[in-house]
Structure 1
Amino acid sequence: MMRRVWCRLLVLVVVTAFAVPSAAAQKTDGWAIDVVQLGDTLSVIAKRHGTTWKRLAQLNGLSRPHLTPGQALIVPRSSLPVRSGDTLWELAMRHGMAVSPLGHANDLRAEHSLVSGERIRIPQPARSPIDAGLFFVPSGNDAKDRALLARYRSMVRRVGLFDVRINANGSLQVRSFGPATTLLRKQGQWPYPVVTNLTNKGFDDEHIRHILSDPARRRTLVDSIWHLLKANGFPGVMLDIEGLKPKDRVLYTQFLRDLSAKLRRSGMEIAVSVPPKQRADMPTHAGAYDYRAIGKYANRVFVMAYDWYIPPFTGPGPVAPYPQVMATMAYASKVISLKKLYLGIPMYGYDWNLATGKGRALSQQKALEQAIDHGATIRFDHRSRTPYYQYAVNGQKHVVWFEDARSLASKFALVKRYKWAGMGGWQMNLFFPQGETLFWLVFRPL
């Protein structure tokens, strides 16, 4: 929606000093998620798990050796020693699994009281095949863009080139994506131009309604997309049309029907981004997006399962709370082919100033480093399965909600449970090294 462009334009980019974690992840036979306690250091934790601090730093994308209590760390060992406060229920949630398989793997009942020091074996799920994608925004620096695209070469198959905007008459604005298109093809990846309804107002519903409500302008848009794909040899288009009002439902569906008829004759694809919905009529503000119809006309449907709490429209809260993500996936799975569904993963969090009520977006890596800088203890909200922490600066209290290995483990488990085709995230520049490591441990990219 219009609000989403706000977070996209304000995100902070953090470049980690250690090697890309995927190589280390691929050499790991087993894994588990440990949680830093007071007094822990990288060396202490490494010794506890029979590894080195450098290996831990690689797996978790740490740019410096400092830690903070409550921080989640992926460790290269498939068992954990029981520590203060651990329960089977908490350990299961930490790893995105139910209690029963964890109890079964250790011959324990759910109500069993764990003894400090005993080792609990973490069942290792088989790596599932997955079709992964990310959005790419040109920086204007060709060398930087080449390095960024190379980083995700073996992980991501589809790349959304953000963005192509629409003129008032339905034609498309011409733009360059630098070296991206050529490099992606050389790397064996598939580039998709992302057509949006962005204007200087953000995601502009009035602008796109002006086009879709007029048959001539709508036809111009359809033809312009076809010519863009044909001229550049793109396999398809990604539509990121956000902020539509419920009254736009028929117009948008008609547009998808027309575009589908045009592109499919040439063997071209349509991918569509949609806001999260838990029912056909819930939430009401997303009524323009008819999941069933979109699933009929689109080859791929990217569900933006995030931004339940976003400044300045709400108060503080988790970006992608587990119950809501699961409800969205359950509904989408009923009305859209599983082979078409892709889960959108947030690669950012929000820092909320509790004194002013304002918030700012930041990368997951920046959120973690900020917690360490302020000596904040990271808490884990079990209901939403999301980490958060509080800190104060200049007398003003802040709360930060972000994602880590624990929250991602649960979302990855949902993708496997519902057997969705793939996942994607916004955007490449928002490095989330720990997320990359967990991806390699849980999935096998196609």
Structure 2
Amino acid sequence: MKGYVCVGVVLLFILFTSEDQIKAEIIHITQKGDTLYNIGERYTITPDQLAKLNGMPKERKLVRGQSIVVPGQAYIVQPSDTLYKIAKRHKVSVNEIMEKNGLKSTTILKGQTLTVPKKQKTPVKVGAYFIPKDEVYNENIIDNLGQYLTTIYLFSYTPSRDGTLTSISLKGSVNKAWRKGILPFATVTNLSSKGFDPDLAHELIRTEKKRKTFINHLYLLLDRHDYKGVVIDFEGLHPEDRSLFSLFIKELSDRLHPNNMEVHIAVPPLKGSKSPSYSAAFDYKTLGEHADSLFLMTYNWHWLGGPSGPIAPIQEVKKTLDFATSVVPREKLMLGIPMYAYDWVISGEKRVKGEAYSVQNAIAKYIHHESQIFYDEQSEAPWFRYKDEQGRTHEVWFEDPRSLLAKFELVRDYQLGGMGAWQLDFSMRQSETLLRSEFSVRE
């Protein structure tokens, strides 16, 4: 991850409908002239229900190319649709649609109603990073999310060079999580005034004595606050610390496992044992032998300090999964999903660092600016452009139902243990509905 927004794991979902109301969803791509009213008429749903289901801001205008989630399995064919496009969008095969609808050919007509086949729900682990605030906020968030989460990751504790750990104000959040049946974990990072600090991490693990002291402080933290375990989110490690980091995880696991505590690790994406070389400190195979879960931070192929582009191009995510599943038990792997948007200024001579914000904020922004949404089929990612008050052109890449469904399908295809993203405040209503439609959350 490059900065706080990209910590690697878990998904959050605050649902407003009951589970028995959710059977399936289709994805409608808005055309010129579409409104919530006329879409609702076609699909027999009120504009208010559509707006709520899709997390629409008060400004309820639609823009061309926008993804709208609609309940049910009935899909109404649009002018530019083909069976291939419909099947790809919903992650089913053309043959499945033809069989479900009794079609003898691939020819379809505008306005025709097709039933999109529904897949059986897959059990999956789901968690969320959580930054505690006041007691009322903590209670409300955990109450709303309880039935949709397996784990919650309290962010974050940072160690000093002597192995002692900072404190965070929990305000009853750990106890509340246990009462709701959510497993609470402490997130420990190597953040310092320099950002993610490889020198700090090296100092903590460089000798047996240092590791033992640090591990003892970690155990005392978990025991004192009744955590189920720890998430080690050490980033940017020196490649030459590969063996030391693996040894640290082994020794930490050996200390925690007999006490019924777990060790999870956030790891950068790799497509080979030491590829890319700057992430070579993370030995997937050895880490997977000792830790309970590896959270794959499968995003940030384009980052805020670089050129604009897809944050998690699907073809690159697959390369990571191909390698990870070859060396780590699949049930130990969690797919990181970037539930956030990146906004780059792409005009002007002066280079401006990009900005990160929630997908929900991206939706409000493209509606406000009436920006057309484009979809990159190769990377499975949506994007749009707008001009700010200074006349500068911005380009924003984010997630929508199409790109989320593509990533959800990877969890199924690779038979992973779970998935996730950063953090509760970056919730997106459309993702909540799709999650409950596609998966059953493991306790």
Instruction: Tell me, yes or no, whether TM beats 0.5.
Output: yes
**1:210 is aligned to 2:203:** yes
Tell me what 1:354 maps to: 346
Contact 1:349 1:363 in 2 (8 A): yes
Matched, 1:195 2:194: no
Structure 2: which 5+ runs fail to align?
Answer: 8-12
Task: Look up the equivalent residue of 1:295 and give its one-letter code.
Answer: G
- Superposed CA deviations along residues 133-161 of structure 1, whole A, max 9, x for unmatched, are 0000123x321222122221110120000
Corresponding residue of 1:147:
140
Distance 2:318 2:98 in 1: 24
1:15 counterpart residue number: none
Residue 275 (1) aligns with residue 268 (2): yes
1:115-130 aligned within 5 A: 115-130=109-124
TM-score (norm 2): 0.93
| Contact 2:163/2:214 (<8 A) preserved | yes
SS for the counterpart of 1:184 is helix
Letter in 2 for 1:69: R
- Kindly, what percent of the aligned residue pairs are identical? 33
Q: Is residue 54 of structure 1 aligned with residue 48 of structure 2?
A: yes
Separation of aligned partners in 2, 1:214 and 1:392: 53
Which residue number in structure 2 is paired with residue 136 of structure 1? 130
Match of 1:246 in 2: 239
From 366, 372, 377, the counterpart of 1:382: 377
Q: Is 1:432 aligned to residue 423 of structure 2?
A: no
Summarize the Cα distance change of 1:317–1:126 in structure 2 as closer, same or farther, 3 Å threshold.
same
TM-superposed deviation, 1:273 = 0.7
Q: Give 1:331's aligned amino acid.
A: F
Give me the whole-angstrom Cα distance separating, in 2, the residues matched to 1:133 and 1:224: 25
Contact 1:20-1:58 within 8 A present in 2 as well: no
Offset of residue 107 of structure 1: 4.5
Q: How far apart in 2 are the matches of 1:162 and 1:320?
A: 23
Does residue 372 (structure 1) correspond to residue 376 (structure 2)? The answer is no
Distance 2:23 2:258 in 1: 46
Specify the code of the residue in structure 2 equivalent to 1:252.
F
1:75 is displaced (CA, Å) by 0.5
Measure how far apart 1:190 and its partner are. 0.9
Partner of 2:333: 341
> Partners of 2:219 and 2:211 in 1: how far apart?
13
Between the aligned partners of 2:142 and 2:271, the Cα distance in structure 1 is 34
Structure 1's 173 and 21: CA in aligned 2 closer, same or farther, altered over 3 A? closer
SS at match of 1:380: strand
How much does 1:267 deviate? 2.0
Aligned residue number for residue 329 of structure 1: 321
Q: Tell which deviates more after alignment, 91-100 or 424-433.
A: 91-100
User: Residue 171 of structure 1 corresponds to which residue in structure 2?
Assistant: 164
* 1:236 lines up with 2:235 in the alignment: no
The answer (yes or no) to whether the contact 2:92–2:117 under 8 Å persists in 1 is no
* Cα shift at 1:210: 1.5
The 8 Å contact of residues 131 and 156 in structure 1, kept in 2 or not, is answered as: yes
Relative to structure 1, is the Cα distance of residues 20 and 207 closer, same or farther in structure 2, using a 3 angstrom cutoff?
closer
1:349 CA displacement? 1.0
Q: What's the secondary structure of 2:424's corresponding residue?
A: coil
**1:12 — aligned with what?**
none
TM superposition shift of 1:395? 2.0
Residue of structure 1 in register with 2:176 after alignment: 183
Structure 1 residues 308 and 25, CA gap change in structure 2 (3 angstroms): farther
User: How much does 1:376 deviate?
Assistant: 0.3
Give the conservation status (yes or no) of the 8 Å contact 1:315–1:357. Answer: no
Structure 1 CA distance, aligned partners of 2:290 and 2:384?
Answer: 43
Cα displacement (A) at 1:7: 5.7
Q: 1:290-318 CA distances to partner (integer Å, 9 max, x unpaired)?
A: 11011001011111111111011x21111
Cα distance in structure 1, aligned partners of 2:254 and 2:6 = 34
Quick one: distance in 1 between partners of 2:71 and 2:168?
45
CA RMSD of aligned residues (A): 1.8
Q: Distance in 2 between matches of 1:55 and 1:321?
A: 32
CA contact (8 A) 2:101 2:115 kept: yes
1:160 partner SS: strand
Gaps of 5+ in 1: 9-18
> Shift of the alpha carbon at 1:67?
1.4
Q: Is the 8 A contact 2:6 2:338 kept in 1?
A: no
Distance 1:45 1:445 in 2: 31
